[in-house]
Structure 1
Amino acid sequence: MVAVDMTAVLSILSAEDYTIAREVLQRGFGLLFFIAFLSAWNQFPALLGERGLTPAPRFIALTTSAQAPSLFRWKRFTYTDRRLHIVCGSGMIAAMTVVVGLPQAGPAWATIPVFGLMWWLYFSISAIGQRFYGFGWESLLLEAGFLVGFLGSHEVAPSLLMIVFLRWFVVRVEFGAGMIKMRGDSSWRDLTAMDYHHQTQPMPGPFSRRAHLMPGWWHRGETLGSHVVQLIAPWLLFLPQPIASFAAAAIIITQLALVITGNYAWLNWATILLAFAGISDSFLGWIIGGPWPGWGRPDSSGAEVADASSAFPLWWAILTAAFVIWQCVLNIPALRNLFSPRQKMNASFNRWGLGNAYGAFGSMTEIRDEIIIEGTLDPDATMDSGDWRPYVFKGKPGDVHRRSPLVAPYHLRLDWLMWFAALGDYRQPWFYALLERIGDGDAQIRTQLGPDPFDGQAPALIRVRIFTYRYATSEERRQAREKGQPRPWWVRSNPRTMVEPTDLRDG
């Protein structure tokens, strides 16, 4: 009979060189959870609350717990806006305890219930969020938040199995996105996708115009670089150090570029955090001037090996191994999906949203259209006459002279859906409800918009037009400055009427 050296086994299963990665992952996702709960606190009542555009109570009544599990289905906690705020407040408090490190200072298991609580509270919100929560980064935050609690507190070393599984998560996110692009649109294959992306992306940022106006060779390099990082770098995470750390750094750098040139809520930040699962403490030490991190696990001999059982106890090894095995089973559909010619994007394969498929921009939009909602206090105004004033959104383009703001990782849900509406997705209940609330001067929906052009008054009439937008060139901005005119950020053309002047006031 072969004797098993349990101390050696525990030493192998212990990822002692990834304590910094654990800190980044847990505190980072704690902060993202805080932002997500804050976003729900500020936006959910107006969009989905008791008087929202698509009220959650009505959705709950029309669906089952199998279709949309949620805390708000409990008879003693049915949805109200007040209870929504209780859930959000509780989630923000739990998130801040992680950010400051309170659960991490407790027993090994202490992080699990805290992250589990945040997961369940936010899952309860997302499950009834309908179209306003139909974004890939919602499931990304939930799944990652569910996982990172099992990295444990400071009392134990991180589990190597968990570190490896989180790297597999990066493969699902990055490689999945890369394959969606290659399968979905020829512009990704002929390297022209970035000729359009910065201008037509859903929520441009303050540097998106500059990125768009870069020369063609630069855009070809961007597209090619995206393919290399998404299709190759994630697999390098499974190689020895420092190769894994260099691959993770490449992913982080490309995600930071997306942070600078766009507003994708917490998608990029969540991917950055997950990529830290590939970066060892030794590599970070080398970055700041320490010794070369080597090509394998740090030498664990002598006193370090003798202490392995206390740094990584057997019960913790069994618990984390069982958890990873369970997650691997849940990931089987996602694995099949990655290599399927009919690959699904941002799909869930079970009711709890674990083991999802991810991806973005399977098709590239080449023309940017923007919906402009306008109102007037003149009841006799026509399409061609009257003092029409636009309703400004907080983030989406509208005023051609306004520079696009930086809002991520905060998520402006209504602004995002307006981008989809301009693509033809406006035949939705939320869009018609939005027009009615604006036309009625509803105070709640005004909290989701920019400055009110009529200081709280309901407009006599509203109209809706759609324009084609493009970035102003440097020459156009220079000419405007020479004429003493405001320099445009956008140039718009091709106006079309979506809704004729209409009185939407009650009564």
Structure 2
Amino acid sequence: MDFHYETQPVPNPMAYVLHRSPWWFHRFETLSNHFLELVVPFFVFLGRSMCILHGALQILFQVVLIISGNLSFLNWLTIVPSLACFDDATLAFLFPSGPGGLKDRVLKMQEEEAQGPRAVQTYGCVARRLVNLAMGVLIAGLSVPVVLNLLSPRQIMNSSFHPLRIVNTYGAFGSITKERTEVILQGTASPNASAPDAEWKDYEFKCKPGDLRRRPCLISPYHYRLDWLMWFAAFQTYEHNEWIIHLAGKLLANDAQALSLLGVNPFEGTAPPRWVRGEHYRYKFSRPGGRHAAEGKWWIRKRLGPYFPPLRLQDLKGYFKSREWPEPEPK
């Protein structure tokens, strides 16, 4: 947790504050996370009160995650199954009471059902129980390699271990990185990309860090997929992410659809850039009350080097053709 708030895919303003929390608070967060994810789920099997406690803790946990970062709709969806932990009696306060009210009508229906004849045990009920038992045994057996993977120091994320694909490993990301790196796309109208006087302008995305003075955004549960993919691309090289070269070609052509995914096009209303390049930077939160924060900067950055070299549209024709991509036409 010493690094999570700064290095998560798309930080929000609260992450900026939480990143500077004292060390003991981060240790408490780590212990709480393990308790909520490894221990609390078993509360479901320990009776009504513990099941309700499980639902409340899980929803609280997800709300904290929603407040502290932009993890798209993942946490919102996780809240939904937790609602099943609350029975009618627990949720009764949400509905009007009194004679003729919804709560009163439901209670009368439950009393009538309790006084009615008991359902006769049929062969269908027995068969269903046997099927449920068999399914439980199957799931338990298929879960063995998944649990072993969970305990392994080299976990495999988002994978299946058997042809049926019933039990799989899933996770948004398997580990927390200690440094945040960003790919900054830049363009220039200069005819010579190597010229010292070439003016390179940054393309800004809708939410991911770029402009040092732009406040981290708040978009959850909405999800900017391209911003998210740029976070993953920064861990690897462009050879592992050919789509980013495809994007560069679209920017060289001022493609309207590609530009609609970005926040700021520095060449809007002008001719498209002659060159586009990717620069690799290390980003860190500025310190609240520090010199950079006083200058209005939420981030500080240091250049690591080129991510991909300057490219012209004509240089990419063979690249696009070899991958059977349609060549972008300048607009």
**TM-score category (smaller protein):** 0.7 to 0.9
Which residue pairs with 1:432 in the alignment?
245
Say which is worse superposed, 425-434 or 444-453, in terms of deviation. 425-434
Q: Which residue of 2 aligns with 1:117?
A: none
Letter of the 1:442 counterpart = D
Structure having the larger proportion of residues in strand: 2
The partner residue of 2:146 within 332, 337, 355 is 337
1:239 partner letter: L
For residues 170 and 298 of structure 2, the distance between their equivalents in structure 1, rounded to whole angstroms, comes to 33
8 Å CA contact 1:373, 1:463 repeated in 2: yes
1:104 is matched with which residue? none
Secondary structure of 2:170's aligned partner: coil
Task: Give the alignment partner of residue 171 of structure 2, picking from 359, 369, 388.
Answer: 359
Shift of 1:490: 0.5
Corresponding residue number in structure 2 for 1:28: none
Aligned-residue offset at 1:318: 8.0
Identical-pair percentage: 34
1:407-461 Cα shifts (integer Å, max 9, x gaps): 2222222111111111115322212212222222222211211121111632111
Cα root mean square deviation, aligned: 3.4
Structure 2 residue matching 1:372: 3-state secondary structure: strand
2:16 corresponds in structure 1 to 209
| 1:493 is the counterpart of 2:302 | yes
Asked whether the equivalents of residues 264 and 408 of structure 1 are also in contact (C-alpha less than 8 Å), the reply is yes
After TM superposition, the structure 1 = structure 2 runs for residues 189-200 of structure 1, keeping only pairs within 5 Å, are 194-200=1-7
Deviation at 1:401, TM superposition (A): 0.9
**Quick one: which of 448, 453, 461 aligns to 2:266?**
453
Q: Secondary structure at the match of 1:362?
A: coil
Q: How far is 1:315 from its partner?
A: 11
Q: Of residues 188, 192, 198 in structure 2, which corresponds to 1:386?
A: 198
2:62 corresponds to which of 224, 249, 255: 255
2-structure distance, mates of 1:307, 1:489:
66
CA contact (8 A) 1:383 1:500 kept: no
CA distance in 2, matches of 1:351, 1:385: 58
2:312 equivalent in structure 1: 503
Alignment of 1:21-60 (within 5 A): none
Query: Does residue 226 in structure 1 map to residue 226 in structure 2?
Result: no
Matched, 1:271 2:78: yes
Aligned partners of 1:367 and 1:419: how far apart in 2? 12
> TM-score by structure 2 length?
0.78
Q: Aligned pair count?
A: 300
CA distance in 1 between counterparts of 2:65 and 2:182 reads 22
Secondary structure of the residue aligned to 2:302 is strand
| Structure 2 residue matching 1:454: 3-state secondary structure | coil
Q: Do 1:468 and 1:495's aligned partners in 2 also have CA atoms closer than 8 Å?
A: yes
Q: 2:266 aligns to what SS in structure 1?
A: coil
Q: Which protein is bigger by CA-based radius of gyration?
A: 2
Q: Distance in 1 between matches of 2:206 and 2:237?
A: 20
State how far apart, in whole Å, the 2-side matches of 1:442 and 1:345 are: 35
Go from structure 1 to structure 2 and tell me whether the alpha carbon gap of 1:324 and 1:261 turns closer, same or farther (over 3 Å shift): farther
Measure how far apart 1:354 and its partner are.
4.0
The match for 2:88 is: 281
Look up the SS of the partner of 1:500 in the other structure: strand
Segments of structure 2 that go 5 or more residues without pairing to the other structure are: 98-106, 318-331
Q: Report the AA paired with residue 214 of structure 1.
A: S
Assess, with a 3 A threshold, how the Cα gap between structure 1 residues 333 and 308 changes in structure 2: closer, same or farther. Answer: farther
| CA–CA separation in structure 1 for the residues paired with 2:29 and 2:96 | 31
Distance 1:250 1:269 in 2: 14
Judged with a 3 Å threshold, the aligned counterparts in structure 2 of structure 1 residues 461 and 230 are, in CA distance, closer, same or farther, namely: same
Q: CA 1:439/1:314 → structure 2, altered by over 3 Å: closer, same or farther?
A: farther
Deviations along 1:169-212, whole A, 9 cap, x unmatched?
A: xxxxxxxxxxxxxxxxxxxxxxxxx0000000111122111111
Deviates more, 1:380-389 or 1:430-439: 380-389
Q: 1:327 to 1:445 in 2, by over 3 A?
A: farther
TM-score (norm 1): 0.53
Contact 1:467 1:493 in 2 (8 A): yes
